[in-house]
Amino acid sequence: MRIAVVNNMPLAVEVLRRVIAKVPEHTLAWLAVNGQEAVGKCHQDRPDLILMDLVMPVMDGVQATGKIMKESPCAILIVTATVEGNAAMVFEAMGRGALDAVGTPVFGAGMTIEGGSELLKKISTIEKLLMKSPRSPKVGAGLKPTPTGPGDHPPLVAIGSSTGGPKALAAILSALPPIPGVAIVIVQHVDAQFARGLAAWLDSQTTLRVEVAREGMRPSADTVLVAATDDHLVLGKDLALHYTPDPRDYPYRPSVNAFFLSLEHYWPRRDVAMLLTGMGKDGAQGLAALRQAGWHTIAQNEKSSVVYGMPAAAAELNAAVEILPIEMIAAAVRRKIDINRIDMTSSRKDP
């Protein structure tokens, strides 16, 4: 795997060189000391992965990520001295196409490297996403749904997203407040250490209440729940949300497919599910299952996607009832929820 490093701190560059060299299959493609230089070098020599710092002179990592993803798209991992201290920049970079973020390794006592294993783990996961399409998880096979009526539960909007997701999620959530009584659950590919920060950041982008999904919580009206661990978030037969480590070898964590398939199996209503921008194919099979079960399914279109991977896979499976630009998705959701409510009201009045 050819890996480029973008960082203006010599000590950080040296430690990143040493971490990359720990894996024989990894080679250093090139170095850049600021975002502008990285954009130029990526245009001339596109690597498999870029380790991108955030705070740099001339052009920061957020701007560079956006330009690279538009001009010479490739996998980008944010590697910065303080992830928590730069949380807003991290999510902005992820909104523009960065896959994930991790703290910069440092030299410890005796010139040992601290934090190198965490970086290598991230690189390994990204390599799996780039090199293969993992098998899809199967959830609840052979079990029967809990027999409850759709009227006992709020309308549900299920969202799956990955690369470029934070920005897309903020755009949709900021346009959804006109539909009261709706429960929203989000599965975004993000490391567990950033999940609470993502929920807080999304909460600041919308008037809706956004919080992390805790074990045993149920989808509830007027609340947005965000998957919050490296395990997979699924709906159980008790109609509560649970975290499960299986399948353990599935690189997409948490998995959109695992969540969508559990909804198809257990959720008693036929509501709305959508698959947004992201690398890979996670969620496509689950969206197809939901459409077949009668859900209204939406995929983001290519032009408005930072990475047209997951929505493209859904389109190939004919999993989406509608394929829409990001700015039209909220209106489509509102329209479908309103139609469902009218249909349910009419059915209750029929003798």
Q: Could you list the active site residues?
A: 162, 189, 282
* Cα–Cα distance for residue pair 41/38, rounded to 1 Å: 5
- As a whole number of Å, the CA-based R_g of the chain is 21
* Cα–Cα distance for residue pair 316/320, rounded to 1 Å: 9
Residue whose pair of structure tokens reads 């257990």 in the numeric block: 266
Q: Is the peptide bond before 254 cis (omega within 30 degrees of 0)?
A: yes
Q: CA quadruple 325, 329, 335, 341: dihedral positive or negative?
A: positive
Token digits for 310?
């997951």
* Cα–Cα distance for residue pair 6/61, rounded to 1 Å: 8
Residue whose pair of structure tokens reads 């850049």 in the numeric block: 32
Of 228, 232, 225, 270, which is closest to residue 251 (Cα–Cα)?
Answer: 232
Residue 49, phi-psi category: left (phi > 0), alpha (psi -120 to 50), beta (remainder): beta
Residue 110, phi-psi category: left (phi > 0), alpha (psi -120 to 50), beta (remainder): left
- How many C-beta atoms lie closer than 10 Å to residue 37's C-beta? 18
